[in-house]
A and B are shown apart, each in its own frame.
Chain A
Amino acid sequence: MSKIDGKQLKKILFKNVAAVLIAAAVLVVVWIVAHAAVGNDLLLPDFFDCMRQVGVLLKDGGFWLAFWHTLSRVLIAFVFSFALALIFALIAYMVPWFCRILSPAVSMLRSLPTLAVLLIVLVWAGAAKAPIVVAFMTLFPSLYAGILAALSQVDGELLEMSRVYKVSMKKRVLQLYIPSAAPYVLREAGAALAFALKLIVSAEVLANTWKSLGGLMQEAKLFYEMPTLFALVVLTFVVGLALEILGAITAFFVERRVK
C-alpha cells in the first residue's frame, strides 16, 4: 500500500473513531444525567452498575454460549440472504423478464410486517429457527435491491466495449461486474450484517429463544434485572457497531483496489 493510502486511511479512521467516541460520550452523559433525574434504578439503572454488569457478563460462560448462538443465527441469515440476493440480482440484471417476475415478490416481502410474521413462523419453524427466517425475509429484499442498484451502476461504456470484443459472460462477471459493484455491495452488506443482528435479537426476544442474547434479555426483563438488561443491550449495540465498521473498512479497501 502506498503512503497516500496509509495517510488517507488514518485520516478516515481517526474521523470515524472520533465521531463514535464523541457520540458515545454524549450518550453516557445523557444516561448519567437522566439516571440522576429519574432516581429509580428499576426504570433506568446507574451507568456504572451497568458497566460492572457488562464485566460480569463477559466473564460468564453462559453469556458467551448465548452470544455464539445469536451470532451463528446472524451469520446463517446473512450468508443465506446475501448469496441468494447476489444470484437473483445477477440473473435479474441480465434477464429483464426475470427481474419483472421477481419484482412483485420482492415488494411483497419488503412490505410484510416482519415481527408479526414471526408469530406464524414461530409455529412452523420453532423458536431457534424463526429468527433466522424472519431476518432472511427482511434482509433478502434489501440486499437484492442494493446489489441490483450497484450492478446497474456498472459503466455502460465498458459494457459496450465488452460486447464489441465479445468478452465471455464469465469474464464480464468476474472482472467487470463484481469488481465494479463490490464496493457498493460490501458497504450494503456491512450495514445488512449489523441490521441482521438487530433483527435476530428482536426476534429472539419475541420468540424467547433459549440460550440466545434475545432470550437472556427476556429473562432479565422477567426478573427486573435492569442492569443486566441494559448491559445486554449495550453489548449487542457494540457488536452491531463492530460489524458495521468491519463492513465499511472492507468496502474501503476493495474500493481502493478497484478504483
Chain B
Amino acid sequence: MKICVSKSYGEKCVFENFALEVEEGEILCVLGESGGGKTTLLNILAGLIPYEGEVCGVPKDVAYIFQEPRLLPNLTVEQNLLYAGGRYEFIEEILQKTEILDKRDRRPKELSGGEKQRVAIARAFVSDAPLLLLDEPFSSLDTARKIRLATLFAALWKEKKKTAVFVTHDIEEAWMLANRVVVLKGGRIAADIRVQGDIPRKFGEGLEVKEKLLNVLLG
C-alpha cells in the first residue's frame, strides 16, 4: 500500500507530498505529537476526507478502531457488531476471544470503558476488512486495561494477520505492538524504525528503542 498525499485545512498545511509505504500484514505504528496529522492520515486511508495526491493499494473494505468506541447506544453488543457488517456466525467466537461473550445482550451504557473498547476491537476483527486502522484506541484507558487490551489486540492480529496502521502519541504502546514505527514530525517522516520480536512486547522493556524514538520526537 503506497501513499503520496498533500493535505491542508484552510491555510494550515498538514502534509506536503507525504510519502509512506505500508507492507502487507505488518503493524505500522505512526508515532507523533498531538495535532501532528496522525488522525488525518488514518482518515485519508479510510476515505473519510478529501486529499490531493495518490493512495494506491488500499482495500475496498477497512476496519477502524477509533479513540472512542463509537457504539450505537440503542443496540446491544451483538447488534452493534451486526450493524457494522459482522457476520452472525463469527460473532460468538469473536466475543469469546474478546472476553465479552456474557455481555452480548447488553447495551453500551451497561458496559465499562474497557468493555466498550473491547466491543470496538471485536467489531473491527469480525469484519472481513483486510486493513485495520487504529486511532489511539487505548489512550483513554488506565495502564492495566491498556496492557490487557494491547495483549488482546496482539492475539487477534496474530490469528488474522491483517495489515494495521496504528497511530499513537504513546511510545509505550508503539513498543508493545508495532513491527515498524514511523515518527511523524511537521508533516514529514522523521524516522522509520523496525522493531524486532514477537508482539505484544513487555510493558516497560525495550528502553533502547524507546530512547531512540524519544530522541527523534524531541530532536
Contact check: which of B72, B74, B83 meets A257 at CB < 8 Å? Answer: B74
CB neighbours (8 Å) of A108 from chain B are none
Q: Check B66–A157 contact: CB distance below 8 A.
A: yes
- What is the distance, in angstroms, from B51's C-beta to the closest C-beta of chain A? 16
Q: Check B74–A164 contact: CB distance below 8 A.
A: no
The answer to the question of A163 belonging to the interface, with a C-beta cut-off of 8 Å to chain B, is yes
Known contacts: A165-B63, A165-B84. The answer to whether A158 contacts B74 by CB under 8 A is no
A162, B85: Cα distance in complex, Å: 10
- What is the distance, in angstroms, from B85's C-beta to the closest C-beta of chain A? 6
The total of interchain contacts (Cβ-Cβ below 8 angstroms) comes to 47
Contact check: which of B46, B61, B74 meets A175 at CB < 8 Å? Answer: B74
Mask for B58-101, Cβ within 8 A of A = 1, else 0? 00011110101010111100010001110000000000000000
Residues 13 to 36 of chain B near chain A (Cβ within 8 Å): none
Q: Check B83–A171 contact: CB distance below 8 A.
A: yes
Contact check: which of A161, A167, A171 meets B64 at CB < 8 Å? Answer: A161
Contact check: which of A163, A175, A258 meets B48 at CB < 8 Å? Answer: A163
Known contacts: A160-B48, A175-B75. The answer to whether A167 contacts B83 by CB under 8 A is yes
Residues 146 to 201 of chain B near chain A (Cβ within 8 Å): none
CB neighbours (8 Å) of A167 from chain B are 83-85
The answer to the question of B117 belonging to the interface, with a C-beta cut-off of 8 Å to chain A, is no
The answer to the question of A166 belonging to the interface, with a C-beta cut-off of 8 Å to chain B, is yes
Q: Check A161–B73 contact: CB distance below 8 A.
A: no
Q: Check B48–A164 contact: CB distance below 8 A.
A: yes
CB neighbours (8 Å) of A259 from chain B are 73-74, 109
A158, B84: Cα distance in complex, Å: 11
A34, B34: Cα distance in complex, Å: 69
Known contacts: A157-B66, A175-B83. The answer to whether A165 contacts B73 by CB under 8 A is no
Chain A contact-residue range equals 10 to 19
A156, B83: Cα distance in complex, Å: 16
Contact check: which of A157, A161, A257, A258 meets B84 at CB < 8 Å? Answer: A161
Q: Check B62–A164 contact: CB distance below 8 A.
A: yes
- What is the distance, in angstroms, from A239's C-beta to the closest C-beta of chain B? 32
CB neighbours (8 Å) of A171 from chain B are 83
The answer to the question of A176 belonging to the interface, with a C-beta cut-off of 8 Å to chain B, is yes
Q: Check B46–A258 contact: CB distance below 8 A.
A: no
Chain A minimum-CB-distance residue to B67: A157
> Which of A161, A166, A176 is most buried by chain B, counting CB atoms within 10 A of its CB?
A161
Q: Check A158–B46 contact: CB distance below 8 A.
A: no
> Which of B61, B75, B79, B84 is most buried by chain A, counting CB atoms within 10 A of its CB?
B84
Q: Check B127–A165 contact: CB distance below 8 A.
A: yes
CB neighbours (8 Å) of B63 from chain A are 164-165
Mask for A154-188, Cβ within 8 A of B = 1, else 0? 00011011111111000100011001100000000
- What is the distance, in angstroms, from B74's C-beta to the closest C-beta of chain A? 4
A1, B127: Cα distance in complex, Å: 33
Chain B minimum-CB-distance residue to A178: B74
Known contacts: A157-B66, A160-B48. The answer to whether A165 contacts B72 by CB under 8 A is no
Q: Check B64–A164 contact: CB distance below 8 A.
A: yes
Q: Check B68–A179 contact: CB distance below 8 A.
A: no
CB neighbours (8 Å) of B75 from chain A are 175
CB neighbours (8 Å) of B73 from chain A are 258-259
Residues 129 to 166 of chain A near chain B (Cβ within 8 Å): 157-158, 160-166
Contact check: which of A161, A180, A257 meets B66 at CB < 8 Å? Answer: A161
A157, B135: Cα distance in complex, Å: 13
Q: Check B48–A157 contact: CB distance below 8 A.
A: no
| 8 nearest A-B pairs in the assembled complex, by CB-CB distance | A165-B84, A161-B70, A179-B74, A164-B64, A258-B74, A164-B46, A157-B70, A165-B85
Question: Residues of B with Cβ closer than 8 Å to A?
Answer: 46, 48, 61-64, 66, 68, 70, 72-75, 79, 83-85, 109, 123, 127
| Extra inter-chain contacts (10) besides given A158-B70, A165-B83, A259-B109, CB under 8 Å | A157-B68, A157-B70, A161-B70, A164-B48, A164-B64, A165-B85, A165-B127, A167-B83, A175-B79, A258-B73
18 A-B residue pairs with Cβ-Cβ distance under 8 Å, sorted by A, are A157-B70, A158-B70, A160-B48, A161-B64, A161-B66, A164-B62, A164-B63, A165-B63, A165-B84, A165-B123, A166-B85, A167-B83, A167-B84, A175-B72, A175-B74, A179-B72, A180-B74, A258-B73
